[in-house]
Amino acid sequence: MSQNLRVKSSNFIDETTRISFKFNGKIYHGFKGDTLASALLANDVHLVGRSFKYHRPRGIMTAGSEEPNAIVQISNDKSLTEPNVRATEVEIYDGLEATSQNCWPSVNFDIGGINNILSPFLPAGFYYKTFMWPASFWEKYEYFIRHSAGLGKSPTAPDTDIYDHKYVHCDVLVIGGGISGIIAAKTAAKNNFKTLLVDEKNELGGTTIYQESTNYKIENQISSEWLKNEIKELKKLNNLEVKIRTSVAAYHGYNFLLARENLTDHLNKNEKQKKIRQRLLKIRAKKVIIATGAIERPLIFNNNDRPGIMLSSAVKKYADYYGVISGRKTVFFTNNDSAYESAISLHNKGIGVKAIIDIRDKSKSKIIKDVENLGIKIYWSHTITDTHGYKRIKEISVMKLSKDSQSVIGSKINIKCDCLGVAGGWTPAVHLFTQSGGKLKFNNENQAFLPNKYPSKQISVGSCNGDFELDNIIKNSSNLLKKFLEINNTDYENIDVQSLSDSNKKNIWLLPSDKAFGKTKPFVDYQNDATAKDIKLALREGFRSIEHVKRYTTTGMGTDQGKLGNMNALGIIADNTGVKMEDLGTTTFRPPYTPLTFGTIVGRNVGKFFDIFRRTPMNDWHIE
């Protein structure tokens, strides 16, 4: 039986407007401003889908466009149904109907789950080796392969929604509405640049807008309050246009970009009638400022894919932004300080945190002392060796790491939990930068690739440029903007910023277990069920190029394009081949950054407008 897990009134959710929606045929309720993901979590629904290959139970893992698991089918209408929509990006509305994908007859009982039992016989590349013989059987193989291929169901009738295209020209395009994007847009607009600011969320401010900690202050104000005032000032500027619910899909040469603007997806069915659903913006900008932020990495350990296992940053956002907790018995697993922020946030809302598992030997950060003063148990130099529970996590097994961190020692500790928040560091969102033809460099301190050589008049600021601490974001963004916009000063040069520093990080790409490696299931790509075992198999079979390993294991080939798994895959390959990360490089990030519907791509060029006949003025006279 579902229960309501709302823990506080949210400034970002309209709790006066109650919304009814259906998920897998059952009626649930949420509030205006909820995403499908936050509304399901509020109703204590964690099992939302099945994985592609093994049909393992999967739950909500993130709070953004990087979501690999909670991918659903929207609407049952033959002309309007849409597959592969992320529950984390769908704003609920009255009449919304969503269903789980890749499961039959239901997500709770899926016949395809037998693949999980057969998984030892279905390693990476098994189809290349299995379906080649005997040749006469190919037609029989083909029938089953075609029926199991793909995710979701395509519409079977013409799309009745309206789509549009629009050309936009501007002096400066700012991509991303977080704190660095707000600083960039305000600076550009105040210096007489015609500025366009786009953000994929329905609210500007990024993660700072719901930051409530007194450890982060700007001009003696809590960072979120300071940023709210900046946004108010921003909206008063005349030569600035702001577009929310707008995701940049592609960055082509010469600063030509494509963006999808969602206009009515968040409205109920009656309000959508005869209105444009989505508009494809064709943007030509003289200068581009990328402020797309960073994506938190998961940690790779045995059975790290169960429903209830989420990114630490997602646990925090659901609690602080949506007022929803992801579980009542939460444990955090981390290699840096960010999970401690999430732990304090939950504690301040009256939600107990059972423990924090930290692979580091120790840390002297102020936030660590704050957590210790709250009485939260910290297991230093420990790792999770296994998780338990089928349709939702119920328990974790913890053991101490050896001195070289390559194995585990001592006795096993079992901890009951219904939510596990993992924090494996941050990966700058460099996808659009590389689409434009930009070249990356590797940063050893943060174990991440950063923008290096720009092919056009563009710049990256904030955490997508490797600045993860608040004071560095503001200081470095200000300095970069002065040079890029060729201005003498900004409003942000001498402001007082208080923030915490996280200098003690420890990275282990593949965490050890007490089980033999062949008996473990450490997932790297959650959508395609690619594991660390698959990557090692590819290396044993002679693959060395990251692009070859990607194709053999299907790592990073899902609709999320490896936003969560690619860096961990690179790290595992580097550790096993003795090749440096910077020498391995990355896979190719291809557009679109997030999926586009065919309707958005085509626009109004459908039906009689698909192939227009051009006729001379005398045509009608000639026919007569």
Q: pLDDT digits over 528-573, tens only?
A: 899 999 999 999 999 988 889 998 998 988 888 889 999 999 999 9
Q: Is 122 helix (H, G, I), strand (E, B) or coil?
A: coil
pLDDT of residue 57 exceeding 60: yes
Asked if pLDDT for residue 464 goes beyond 90, the answer is yes
User: Does residue 127 surpass a pLDDT of 60?
Assistant: yes
Q: What confidence category does residue 66 fall into, taking pLDDT thresholds of 50, 70 and 90?
A: very high
Tens of pLDDT, residues 332-390:
999 999 999 999 999 999 888 999 999 999 998 999 999 999 999 999 999 999 999 99
- Tokens 């607009």 locate to 189
pLDDT band at 193; cut points 50, 70, 90: very high
Residue 241 clears pLDDT 60, i.e. is over it: yes
CA distance 563 to 298: 11
User: pLDDT tier at 11 (50, 70, 90 boundaries)?
Assistant: confident
Q: What is the pLDDT of residues 266-322, one digit of tens each?
A: 999 889 988 999 999 999 999 999 999 999 999 999 999 999 999 999 999 999 999
pLDDT band at 125 (very low <50, low <70, confident <90, very high): confident
Q: Are 460 and 291 in contact (CB under 8 A)?
A: yes
Q: State which H helix or E strand residue 36 sits in.
A: helix 36-42
- The domains located in the chain, with CATH, are 14-148 (3.10.20.440), 162-295+427-490 (3.50.50.60), 298-424 (3.50.50.60)
> Residue 498: pLDDT above 60?
yes
pLDDT-derived band at 211 (thresholds 50, 70, 90) equals very high
Residue with tokens 């060395």: 544
- Residue 1: is its pLDDT beyond 50? no
**Order of strands, sheet of 378-380, starting from the edge strand that comes earlier in the sequence:** 309-311, 419-423, 330-334, 353-358, 378-380
Q: How far is CA 302 from CA 12, 105, 531, in A?
A: 36, 28, 10
Mean pLDDT of all residues belonging to the chain: 92
pLDDT-derived band of residue 126, with 50, 70 and 90 as boundaries?
Answer: confident
